[in-house]
Amino acid sequence: MDNAKPASSDRAPSHLFYQSRLRRPLVDRAEGIYLWDQNGKRYIDGSSGAMVVNIGHGNRHVIDTMKKQMDKVTFAYRLHFENEPAEDLAGRIAGYMPEGMDKVFFVSGGSEAVESCLKLARQYAVATGQAQRWKVISRFPSYHGGTLGALAVTGYAALTDPFTAMMKEMPKIPAPTAYLDRDNFSIEERGLRYADKLEEAILAEGPESVLAFIMEPVGGASTGALVAPDSYYGRIREICDRHGVLLIHDEVMSGVGRTGKFLGGDHWNCRPDLIALSKGFGSGYSPLGAMVAPSRMVQPVLDAGGFQHGYTYAGNPLACAAGGAVLDEIERLDLMGNAAAMGDLLKGELVMLSKRFPFIGDVRGKGLLLAAEFVENTVTMQPLAKEKNAFQRVIDIAYDKGLIIYSRRTRGGVEGDHFLVCPPMIVTREQIGEIVAILDDTLQDLASELNL
Ligand code: PLP
């Protein structure tokens, strides 16, 4: 039985289903930072889909490259043939990585990229005589994907609870929500104290059993673009080194330029052992993701009999041609530079809005991965009451006004509402103005509706 409510009487019940009963209009077309529905209404894609369409919609170079590739060959199984788009893209990606990260394993999405990191880490441990290591510590809240392995390291109760009986849940430490702490420590001291929670967890679990720690260098939707104090990143690396624990960076959302640098971790010169990429990598033109690893980890696994893992669609020529063309555009248009500049501008505007709307307690993020959090008041930083449903109302009000944003109700320990504003990296100064004007209107409506 289909419980979905048709948005209008001319829409038949759908045979599709996703997470909820919510139905949205049919999309008709898209160009740049805009989408149009079938009634001709225009929307600003202020969340790049789900932080995916980094280079914007309808990019001619990507479309033409994909068409050309389709005329040549769209699929050749990787165990039967190598292909040029995959070879080229792997080489170009390696060029953006921290030193030594020279091996690329293609997949089709973020969950697959994270699963691949977990599996390579484990096989590396087995191949190098450390078979007792299997625990992967992660943070709460966090989101690392929907498959059972990625879910086991995800800190998001609503998503994990139905499945705990089916998976091995992994240890979690709190995400570094230093902005919420009301103590006498400086922000950098707090950063160190959050990092030290990893060491406490490793010691509690038994260091010889801990395989890896996985984190998003700049948080995604679950934390609302959470950025740790600078001191956090180096201390995490030190702790991992001290205990022989591998460091996995989930750059599925923060990678491929969105934060103004190729990797979110590049803001702190991070040196993780494994990196997961997706989303902006294919920029919505093709499902595409990758695990990036150093030869020093890959070689022992290959020598021990091969990496026991893979996906049918991995490294297919069409997806890789799309990824290469996306990278061409990021380079040609200096989209990382634009993400940094427009991110600064948009963040400044969000800060201005927070001064006018006192229920915005925090504005954070890097480049065009930005979020604002709602609070009861900025002294206690207590979250808004759940019943207000602020996270849902803000996106619905903005949607009606033609602006798509992203939101969640999760934060460290307690729940809270935040929304993310992450337009495509091609966004212009004028378009930032358009986004901010609609946001301003939206927040005014939200304030009067919820008595804020
Ligand atoms: N990791 C992070 C940080 C994400 O934000 C997501 C998706 O939102 C994933 C992993 C999972 O990616 P996918 O939905 O492509 O499987």
pLDDT tops 60 at residue 413:
no
Q: Would residue 443 count as lying in a domain?
A: yes
Cβ contact 375:188 at 8 Å = no
- Domain boundary (332, 365, 398) is at 332
In terms of domains, do 89 and 165 share one? yes
pLDDT at residue 172 in the model = 97
pLDDT at residue 4 in the model = 44
pLDDT at residue 3 in the model = 42
In terms of domains, do 338 and 324 share one? no
Count of alpha carbons within 13 angstroms of residue 381, beta-carbon side: 17
pLDDT tops 60 at residue 389:
yes
**Least confident span in 21-35, 376-390, 400-414, 433-447:** 400-414
What's the 277 CA to ligand 1 centre distance in angstroms?
A: 9
Average pLDDT on 202-219 reads 98
Average pLDDT on 352-370 reads 97
pLDDT tops 90 at residue 20:
no
Ligand 1 atom with the shortest distance to the CA of 279: 15
The pair of structure tokens assigned to 121 is 């880490």
pLDDT at residue 414 in the model = 57
In terms of domains, do 259 and 343 share one? no
pLDDT at residue 11 in the model = 80
In terms of domains, do 180 and 257 share one? yes
Average pLDDT on 166-186 reads 93
Q: What is the mean pLDDT of the chain?
A: 95
**Per-residue confidence band for 21, with pLDDT thresholds at 50, 70 and 90:** confident
How many domains in the chain? Answer: 2
Q: Would residue 80 count as lying in a domain?
A: yes
Average pLDDT on 17-34 reads 90
What is the edge-to-edge ordering of all strands in the sheet holding 103-107? 103-107, 289-293, 274-277, 246-250, 210-215, 135-140, 172-174
Check residues 380 and 188 and name the one with the higher pLDDT. Answer: 188
Radius of gyration of the chain (CA): 22
> In angstroms, what CA-CA distances link 373 with 179, 191, 382, 410, 439?
11, 20, 11, 10, 14
Secondary structure, 3-state, 293-340? ECHHHHHHHHHCCCCCCCCCCCCCHHHHHHHHHHHHHHHHCCHHHHHH
Ligand 1 atom with the shortest distance to the CA of 289: 15
Ligand 1 atom with the shortest distance to the CA of 147: 16
Average pLDDT on 374-396 reads 92
Q: How many CB atoms lie within 10 A of CB 412?
A: 21
In terms of domains, do 317 and 354 share one? no
**Per-residue confidence band for 8, with pLDDT thresholds at 50, 70 and 90:** low
In terms of domains, do 342 and 412 share one? yes
Q: Would residue 303 count as lying in a domain?
A: yes
pLDDT at residue 6 in the model = 46
- Domain boundary (332, 347, 375) is at 332
What's the 220 CA to ligand 1 centre distance in angstroms?
A: 9
Q: How many CB atoms lie within 10 A of CB 293?
A: 27
pLDDT at residue 9 in the model = 52
Average pLDDT on 95-104 reads 97
Pocket test for ligand 1, best of 108, 279, 286, 422 (most atoms within 8 A of CB): 279
Cβ contact 53:283 at 8 Å = yes
Cβ contact 51:258 at 8 Å = yes
> In angstroms, what CA-CA distances link 399 with 101, 220, 345, 365, 407?
41, 21, 22, 22, 12
Pocket test for ligand 1, best of 53, 223, 278, 407 (most atoms within 8 A of CB): 278
pLDDT at residue 2 in the model = 40
Tell me what percent of the residues of the chain surpass a pLDDT of 90. Answer: 89
pLDDT at residue 5 in the model = 44
In terms of domains, do 321 and 400 share one? no
- Domain boundary (268, 298, 332) is at 332
Cα 52 from Cα 406, distance rounded (Å): 12
145 lines ligand 1 (CB under 6 A): yes
Range of the domain at 389: 27-55+334-450
Q: Would residue 21 count as lying in a domain?
A: no
In terms of domains, do 44 and 97 share one? no
pLDDT by residue (tens digit) across 256-269? 999 999 999 999 99
Strand-pair partners of 36: 29, 42
Q: Would residue 109 count as lying in a domain?
A: yes
pLDDT tops 90 at residue 148:
yes
Q: Would residue 127 count as lying in a domain?
A: yes
In terms of domains, do 203 and 270 share one? yes
CATH code at 344? 3.90.1150.10
Q: Would residue 142 count as lying in a domain?
A: yes
What's the 50 CA to ligand 1 centre distance in angstroms?
A: 9
Q: Which of 108, 53, 113 is nearest to 320 (CA)?
A: 108
ipTM score for this prediction: 0.99
Ligand 1 atom with the shortest distance to the CA of 222: 5
pLDDT at residue 218 in the model = 98
pLDDT at residue 17 in the model = 84
CATH code at 74? 3.40.640.10
In terms of domains, do 238 and 387 share one? no
Cα 297 from Cα 320, distance rounded (Å): 24
Cα 390 from Cα 373, distance rounded (Å): 10
In terms of domains, do 304 and 340 share one? no
Pocket test for ligand 1, best of 51, 253, 288, 410 (most atoms within 8 A of CB): 253
Q: Would residue 3 count as lying in a domain?
A: no
Q: Which of 373, 375, 369, 349 is nearest to 421 (CA)?
A: 369
pLDDT at residue 7 in the model = 52
Check residues 31 and 15 and name the one with the higher pLDDT. Answer: 31
In terms of domains, do 258 and 382 share one? no
The pair of structure tokens assigned to 139 is 């943070």
pLDDT tops 50 at residue 80:
yes
